[in-house]
Amino acid sequence: MPNVLTLKWGTVSAWNLDTDDAKEALQKWARFGVSMSAMAHKDKPGQKDALLDAIDHMDELWLDWEGKEVSREEAKEYVRNYGAARSKGKQECQRWRTEES
Tens of pLDDT, residues 37-70: 777 778 888 999 999 999 999 999 999 999 999 9
CA–CA separation, 100 vs 70, rounded Å? 43
Q: What are phi and psi of 55, to 5 degrees?
A: -55, -35
Residue 78 pLDDT greater than 90, yes or no: yes
Give the pLDDT confidence score for residue 98 in this predicted structure: 56
The sign of the dihedral angle between the CA atoms of 57, 62, 68, 73 is negative
pTM here is 0.79
Give the pLDDT confidence score for residue 101 in this predicted structure: 53
Give the pLDDT confidence score for residue 6 in this predicted structure: 98
How many folded domains does the chain comprise?
1
Give the pLDDT confidence score for residue 39 in this predicted structure: 72
User: How does residue 85 score in pLDDT terms, banded at 50, 70 and 90?
Assistant: low
Q: Give the range of the structural domain holding residue 94, as residue numbers without chain letter.
A: 4-100
Give the pLDDT confidence score for residue 53 in this predicted structure: 97
What residues have CB less than 8 Å from 10, skipping those under 6 apart? 43, 78, 79, 82, 83
CA angle 96, 99, 101 (to 5 degrees): 110
DSSP 39-91: TT----HHHHHHHHHHHTT-SEEEETTTTEEE-HHHHHHHHHHTTHHHHHHHH
Give the pLDDT confidence score for residue 83 in this predicted structure: 82
